Chain A
Amino acid sequence: MATLTLCGKELVVDADGNLANRTEWTEEIARDLAAQEGIAELTPQHWAVINFMRSVFMKEGDSPSIRRLTKESGVDTKTLYQLFPKGPAKKAARIGGLPKPKGCI
Chain B
Amino acid sequence: MRTVEGKRSMRQMLILGGGTAGTIMANKLARELGKKDWRITVVDATEEHYYQPGFLFVPFGTYQIRDLVRPRHQYIRERVRFIHSAIDRIDPETKSVFLAGGETLTYDCLIIATGAEIHPEQIEGLVDEGWGKTKFDFYAPRGAELLAGFFKSWQGGRLVVSIAEMPIKCPVAPLEFLFLADAYFSERGIRDKVDLHFVTPLSGAFTKATCNRVLGDFLVRKGIKVTPDFAISRVDNAEKKIVSWDDTEVPYDVLVSVPTNMGDAAMARSGMGDELNFVPTDKHTLKAQQYEDIFVIGDATNLPSSKAGSVAHFQSEILFKNVLQHVEGRTPRARFDGHANCFVESGFGKALLIDFNYETEPLAGDFPLPVIGPFRLLKESRVNHWGKLGFRWVYWNILLRGMELPVGADMSMSGKKQAAA
Contact = CB atoms under 8 A, between A and B. Distances in A.
B231 A81 contact: yes
A86 B207 CA distance: 16
B207 A104 contact: yes
B245 interface: yes
B165 interface: yes
A9 interface: no
B183 interface: no
A6 to B, nearest CB: 23
B275 A105 contact: no
B275 A103 contact: no
Interface in B244-258: 244-246
B296 to A, nearest CB: 17
A80 B244 CA distance: 12
Interface string B150-162: 0000000000000
B129 interface: no
A43 interface: no
Contacts of A78: 233, 245
Contacts of A77: 233, 245
A85 B246 contact: yes
Interface in B132-176: 165-167, 171
Nearest to A87: B229
A102 B208 CA distance: 12
A52 to B, nearest CB: 14
Contacts, number: 42
A104 B231 contact: no
Interface in B197-255: 201-203, 207, 229, 231, 233, 244-246
Interface residues of B, number: 20
Nearest to B229: A86
Given A103-B167, A104-B202, A71 B275 contact: yes
Interface residues on A, range: 10 to 19
A82 interface: yes
Given A66-B231, A67-B275, A77-B233, A103 B246 contact: no
Which DSSP category, helix, strand, loop or mixed, fits chain B's interface? loop
A60 to B, nearest CB: 9
B212 to A, nearest CB: 12
- Find the residue from A67, A77, A105 having the highest chain B CB count within 10 A: A105
B167 A105 contact: yes
Interface in B362-388: none
A36 to B, nearest CB: 16
A80 B306 CA distance: 27
A21 to B, nearest CB: 21
A105 B233 contact: no
Given A65-B275, A78-B233, A105 B246 contact: no
B274 interface: yes
Interface string A66-92: 111001000001101110011100000
B185 to A, nearest CB: 29
B304 A102 contact: yes
A78 B232 CA distance: 11
B109 interface: no
Interface of B: 165-167, 171, 201-203, 207, 229, 231, 233, 244-246, 274-276, 304-306
Interface of A: 65-68, 71, 77-78, 80-82, 85-87, 102-105
Given A66-B231, A80-B245, A103-B167, 11 more contacts: A67-B165, A67-B276, A77-B245, A78-B245, A81-B246, A85-B246, A86-B229, A103-B166, A104-B166, A104-B207, A105-B171
